[in-house]
Amino acid sequence: MTAEAKRTSRERLIEAAAALSYREGVNVGVEALCKAAGVSKRSMYQLFESKDELLAASLEGQAASYTAQLLPDMNDDRPPRERILHVFGQLESHSTLPEFRGCAYLAVQIELKDETHPASRVACRVKGDLTAFFRAEAEQGGASDPDLLARQLTLVFDGASARAGIGAEKLAGLIAPTVSTLLDAAGVR
């Protein structure tokens, strides 16, 4: 039995939703999702209340991997400044991949424009977790205003991700100096 056959219909739908919505946007059709997953529409609606719920499940399913790829390990004992810069280094690295389209969580929020949508709620939580990481590191690094710095860093992250995702900017040589300037201004060590 192949690995493809071993994956459940639910797993295949979640993977298809993640891939297609990232590449084509959240308005990808149910038929395309079912075709990519090799699952009937009837099966999809037995597994998920709606396409919205499927999209939310796909984002939830990617959250741990997204965080692990982006944030330094919890046991990483580098100073807060370096831990923050690590996140932006990861963004810069990912932005060079041909399939990079920006932050999937930001894209969902922009496309849906509905804070009550199940996928928007997942995206908001994941983006909030990133801001919370920045805030904790800023506070530990002695930032004069950790809340403001965390919001600024999230703004830079989202802007850089979006600009790189549409091919308008290359982040190499741009993102680290920009973030360093913010960290310097806030007094982060």
47: number of CA atoms within 13 Å, CB side? 20
Length of the chain: 189
Residue 6 pLDDT: 76
Q: Which residue has the tokens 């370096």?
A: 82
Interatomic CA distance for residues 17 and 51, integer angstroms: 9
Number of domains in the chain: 1
pLDDT tens, N- to C-terminus, the chain (189 residues): 455 557 899 999 999 999 999 999 999 999 999 999 999 999 999 999 999 999 999 999 999 999 999 999 999 999 999 999 999 999 999 999 999 999 999 999 999 999 999 999 999 999 999 999 999 999 999 999 999 999 999 999 999 999 999 999 999 999 999 999 999 999 998
Report phi then psi at 59, rounded to 5. Answer: -70, -40
Q: How far is residue 18 from each of residues 9, 143, 165, measured CA to CA in Å?
A: 14, 36, 16
Q: Which residue has the tokens 């949508």?
A: 117
- Domain range enclosing 66: 3-186
Sign of CA dihedral 180, 146, 151, 26: positive
Has this prediction a pTM greater than 0.85?
A: yes
Residue 188 pLDDT: 97
CA-angle at 93, arms to 167 and 86, nearest 5° = 125
Give the pair of three-digit tokens for residue 165: 């995702």
CATH number at residue 27: 1.10.357.10
